[in-house]
């Protein structure tokens, strides 16, 4: 017969061994919350010295994409603009004019409007009504 004290030790040892083999408790794989966005909006730079300084970039608006002529080195943050719009409950008119290029006018990048119907033949003048 095994003494009670030894039996208790044996049961305790087996319990510890089995406990060590058990799978660890599941850990939460929830992603860490995203870093707080910089509350300051990106400042888009439209200054220029020559036409070569300007380019068309998506600066965004409350509706989505919004191309504009800006300095080629200027940062833009269309997603940040959209997030600010959502946070403040603002909306915007969708759509934008087509920009064929940019030029520097008085130190500011401005859009060259695209010419309509540049690939179509001109419509001939109709004959006068008699």
pLDDT digits (tens, 9 = 90+) for 89-115: 988 878 888 899 999 999 999 998 766
Q: Which residues contact 77 (CB under 8 A, 6 or more apart)?
A: 41, 42, 60
pLDDT-derived band of residue 86, with 50, 70 and 90 as boundaries? very high
pLDDT score at 50 = 97
Tell me, yes or no, whether 95 lies in a domain: yes
Q: Which residues contact 114 (CB under 8 A, 6 or more apart)?
A: 97, 98, 99, 100
Instruction: Using the predicted structure, report yes or no on whether residue 123 has a pLDDT greater than 60.
Output: yes
Tell me, yes or no, whether 39 lies in a domain: no
Number of structural domains (the chain) is: 1
Measure the CA–CA gap between 90 and 84, rounded to whole angstroms.
8
Tell me, yes or no, whether 38 lies in a domain: no
Tell me, yes or no, whether 28 lies in a domain: no
pLDDT-derived band of residue 118, with 50, 70 and 90 as boundaries? low
Quote the pTM value.
0.56
Residue-range definition of the domain harbouring residue 84? 55-113
Tell me, yes or no, whether 19 lies in a domain: no
Instruction: Using the predicted structure, report yes or no on whether residue 29 has a pLDDT greater than 60.
Output: no
Instruction: Specify the range with the lowest mean pLDDT, choosing from 26-35, 52-61, 62-71, 111-120.
Output: 26-35
User: In the chain, pLDDT over 70 holds for what percent of residues?
Assistant: 62
């Amino acid at each position: 017969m095994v003494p009670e004290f030894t039996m208790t030790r044996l049961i305790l040892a087996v319990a510890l061994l089995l406990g060590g083999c058990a799978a660890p408790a599941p850990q939460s794989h929830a992603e860490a919350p995203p870093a707080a966005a910089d509350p300051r909006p990106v400042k888009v730079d439209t200054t220029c010295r020559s036409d070569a300084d300007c380019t068309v970039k998506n600066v965004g608006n409350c509706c989505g994409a919004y191309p504009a002529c800006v300095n080629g080195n200027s940062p833009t943050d269309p997603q940040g603009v959209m997030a600010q719009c959502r946070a403040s409950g603002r909306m915007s008119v969708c759509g934008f004019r087509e920009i064929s290029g940019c030029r520097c006018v008085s130190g500011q990048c401005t859009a060259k409007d695209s010419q309509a119907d540049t690939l179509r033949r001109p419509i001939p003048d109709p004959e006068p009504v008699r």
